[in-house]
Amino acid sequence: MVLEAERLAGVHLPAQSTVVVTRSITGDQKANQSWAEMQMAYDTRSLLHYFSLMLDDRFLFGIRGSLGRSPPTKKAARAAVKHDFEALFPAWRQVQIEFSWYSMTSISLALMPFVSQFPGHRNLYAGLFFHGNGVAMGTYAGAL
C-alpha cells in the first residue's frame, strides 16, 4: 500500500546521509577528547551531524548533506564527513576510519516528524522523518 502522494507532496526532500565509523578508541584517546558518553547525540544545524560512541568503543559519526547521488557528489560527501569529524573531534584526527557508507534518506521541510493514520484503515499508521532521533521518536510514535 502506498501512502497517498498528495498528503506528502511538497513536505519532504531527499538528502544524503554519510557515515563513518572509527576503529576502537582507547581510554586515553577518549580522555583527550573529553568524550566517554554512549548516548547518541546530534547538533542543531539544519542538515545535522549525529554521533555516538558504540559498545565496542568505535565512534560513529554521520552528516546529512547533498541532495544528489552522482559519483562527484558521493566523493564530496565523504570528504565533508571526514572534515567535519576532524573539526568537531580534533583529538581524534589520527584515529583510523574503518568503515564508511552513505544512503539516501528523506527529510521533511519542517524538520518535524510526520505520523498519520492511513485514510480508511483504522489500525494502519505511517511514521516518517524522524531526523536523527528515529529510535526514540519512532518508538514513542509507535506507542501513541
- Ordered domains of the chain (ranges, CATH): 5-143 (3.30.9)
Contact 134, 64 (CB under 8 A): no
Task: Quote the pLDDT of residue 108.
Answer: 82
Task: Quote the pLDDT of residue 133.
Answer: 59
Nearest Cα to 19, choosing from 93, 105, 113, 90? 105
Which of 98 and 119 is assigned the larger pLDDT? 98
Q: What is the arithmetic mean of pLDDT over 114-127? A: 82
The residue type of 125 is Y
Task: Quote the pLDDT of residue 26.
Answer: 95
Contact 66, 107 (CB under 8 A): no
Q: Which residues are paired to 143 by β-bridges?
A: none
pLDDT-derived band at 102, boundaries 50, 70, 90: confident
Name the grid cell of 43.
Answer: 547538533
Nearest Cα to 52, choosing from 65, 64, 61? 61
Phi/psi for 26 (5° steps) reads -75, 165
Task: Quote the pLDDT of residue 31.
Answer: 94
Task: Quote the pLDDT of residue 41.
Answer: 79
Q: What is the mean pLDDT of the chain?
A: 83
